[in-house]
Structures are given as C-alpha cells and as structure tokens.
A = this chain, B = another copy of it.
Amino acid sequence: MITLTSDFGSPYPAAMKGVIRRHTDAELIDVAHDLPRGDPRAAAFWLRFVLPEFPPAVHCAVVDPGVGTDRDALVVRAGEHVIVAPDNGLAMPPARALATDESDFEVWTLAVDDPASETFHGRDVFAPAAARVRTALDEAASAEAGAADSAGDGSLDADAIAAALSGLDDLAPASDPVDIHFPEPSVERDDGDAIAIDGEVLAIDRFGNVITNVPGDLVRDRDWLRVNGDLTPVAETFGAVDPGERLVTVGSHGYAECDVNDGRGDGAFDLRPGDAVRFVPDSVSL
C-alpha cells in the first residue's frame, strides 16, 4: 500500500498515480490533496493524526514551499512504516507517532537529480521514489517468504525494512534533517489547579474549527472558559449551543478546539495557525 498526501489539488495527484502504476500495482489510498498550500506544519499535524490509523505502509507526502530550491528528499522509516517526503520537517511528527520508541527511527536522504524549473517534483521525484521503496519492500517480503519456505504474510519487521532500504543505492543516511516540533502549552497552576493555559493554534480544519495544542483533559470538565478574554461555553457537542454560537469542545484528535455551531471558529475567534490562545477558567477572577 502507498498512501498519497499533498496540497496539489486536482488533477496533479493523478499524474503521480500514473507514474506509480508504471512501477508497481500496490494499492493507492489518498489521505488528502487539499491540505493548506505550502504549509508543511499543517501537513505534519494532519499526517500525525491520520497515518497511525494505517497498517504498515509507504506514505508519500508532498507539501513543499521549497520546490525549485535546493532541498533534499527524505525517506524515513518509523516502526514498520516508511514516509517519502521533502526535507522540510513535515515527515517528522508523523514518524514519531508511527515509531514505537525513539530508536525505532531512521532517516535517509534521497538523491534528487538536478531539478529543472518545469519539474513537477510530486510526479518526477516523490512518486517514483515511493514506487521504488514499495517495490524494494515487496521484493524483500517475497524473498523472506521464499527463504522461510512459507507463504508468509507479506509483512516485514522494522529490521528487514531498514535492510531493504539500505540496499537502494540512491539513499544515504541523513545527517541533519529539518524537523518540526509542535509546542507544548504552558499551564499556570495555583495549588494544583490550572488557572491559565497558554496554548497555540496548530491547525484550522476545512470547517473553520480552530485546533489548539491544549490537551482536552485540561478543558473538558469546565462549564465556561475565557478564550483570549471572551467567556465561552465548554460543551461535548456542537448542538449544546445555538447555531451561530461559539463553544470550546474537544476534537477527535484529543485537543481543545474553538468552534462555532454551524459556523466558522476561525472567523468568530479571530484565530490563525500559530496564534496564541489563552484559556482561563471563569471561576478565576480576571
């Protein structure tokens, strides 16, 4: 299986699929092709959310404001998954989520031939690389199954994946890949109780829901919170407030969200990715 993720819209991802099909019949599953344009941080957030749901796979993820510049392509093994992506950090948060521990992790640089400006890197670099990785893993799995004189289950463990990737002659260990780290919120406490939480907006989804880095447990049992000063109800479901009304809720990713029932939270709260957001329980005097 190869999953595909990009900010290319349509029909560019189909060109990537065509190229992959020239090399392998592996199943293709789209993660998304409408991610925020040129925003590796948003891509990293969503991939960290989605990829761990998959069984071991090759993931080709291209969100790349650096097209045409001198950045490398990476191949990252994390657990029994492999991510093929530009070296701009987007692969690292999902890779950490896929790894079972910190040592369960390897990063290679993929040689990219002299990029001309009309190169479509998704089609000309990353799709063939993902196909090559997929083929190498499938061949290794076949060889392993043959050696064991058994049908095998077609899966490789992490060591076997690493060995197969090491055999690809255009991969070299990466010395210093770009990384993205999502900030932790800071919590001000008084006698153990959180009296203020300073977080940050990680992403906005297509409905305008504002996803913060504040763990749901810090807001879940409140009735009201001040969000950057404005009193806002906390609820488990959108329907707990009237249409058009604001609320704080906990999304399926486990983080506090600033939302509007039947509306857009980003507009109502005036929040964008990277913005600071301060939650203060209302029982605290301001």
By a beta-carbon cutoff of 8 Å, the part of chain A in contact with chain B is 1, 3, 5, 9-12, 14-19, 21-22, 28-35, 37-38, 46, 49-55, 65-69, 117-120, 123-124, 205-207, 216, 220, 236-239, 249-254, 262
Contact = CB atoms under 8 A, between A and B. Distances in A.
Given A69-B237, A117-B249, A14 B3 contact: yes
Contact of A250 (B5, B118, B239): B118
13 contacts: A14-B31, A14-B50, A15-B49, A15-B53, A18-B29, A19-B53, A21-B29, A21-B54, A66-B237, A67-B237, A69-B239, A117-B216, A117-B237
B117 A220 contact: yes
Contact of A11 (B46, B124, B220): B46
How many copies of this protein are present in the complex? Answer: 3
Contacts of A67: 237
Nearest to A217: B118
B239 A51 contact: no
Given A10-B35, A12-B50, A65-B238, 14 more contacts: A10-B206, A11-B46, A11-B49, A14-B31, A14-B53, A18-B55, A21-B29, A21-B55, A37-B207, A67-B237, A68-B239, A117-B250, A118-B252, A118-B253
B21 A34 contact: no
B118 A50 contact: no
Contacts of A206: 9-10
A120 to B, nearest CB: 3
B28 A29 contact: yes
Contact of A236 (B35, B68, B124): B68
Contact of A50 (B18, B66, B68, B119): B18
B29 A14 contact: yes
A238 B67 CA distance: 9
A220 to B, nearest CB: 7
Contacts of A120: 252
B236 A15 contact: no
Contacts of A66: 237, 239
A56 to B, nearest CB: 10
Looking at A10, A29, A52, A238, the one whose CB has the most chain B CB atoms below 10 A away is: A10
Contacts of A31: 11, 14
Contacts of A251: 118
Contacts of A123: 53, 252
A17 B38 CA distance: 25
A209 to B, nearest CB: 11
Contact of A10 (B1, B28, B34, B236): B34
B118 A237 contact: no
B50 A30 contact: no
Nearest to A51: B18
A30 B14 contact: yes
